[in-house]
Amino acid sequence: MEAPERYRDRTVEYAGVVGVDLDIASANPVNFHEAITTPIGSTTVRAVIGDLDEWCSVQQVQAQIHAMQLSGGAATVRVVPGAHHSFDRHEPVHTIAEASVAPAAPTTMLRHDRAMLAAGSDRPDPDLVDGDIFRACITAGFYAATIGRAS
C-alpha cells in the first residue's frame, strides 16, 4: 500500500461518489507494499482481480483488503476465475509483448510510521525507499504479460 504521507501529489479528490466526498490515495499492490493495518474510514472498498492476473499479485490484493478489515474497514475482494489483468466479460485474451511485470516479487511490509520491512529482514529500516525495493524486485519480473478473460 502506498504511504499517503509520501504520495500526497497522487491523491485524487472524488466529489459526490455515492453521495459522499472522499480523498483517495493510490492503493496499488503492484508497488509491493503492504501495511499491517490500513484505515479507510467510512469508505467501502471492493477489490476485483482475476485469478490469472500476471500484472498484480492476488495474494497482495488479498493482504491489502485484510489490512483494511483489521482496521475496521468495510472491504472485500472477489477473485474472478479465468480472468487475466484488465478484463471485462467481452475482452479477449491477448498478450502485450512489451509489458514488464513482477507479480511474484516479494512483499514489503510498512510499519505504522511507514518504515519499510523488506522481505527476508527481521526489522524495519526507515532509510529504505521505493527505489531500493523496486531494484530488489527486478529478478522476479518478466516480459509479455496477458490481459483479458478466457471465458
Is this model's pTM higher than 0.85 or not?
A: no
Dump pLDDT digits (tens) for 38-92.
Answer: 777 888 888 888 888 888 888 888 888 888 898 888 889 999 888 888 777 677 7
What pLDDT score does 52 carry?
A: 87
In angstroms and rounded to an integer, the radius of gyration of the C-alpha atoms of the chain is: 16
For 4, 6, 19, 91, the CA distances from 112, given in Å and listed in that order, are 12, 13, 30, 39
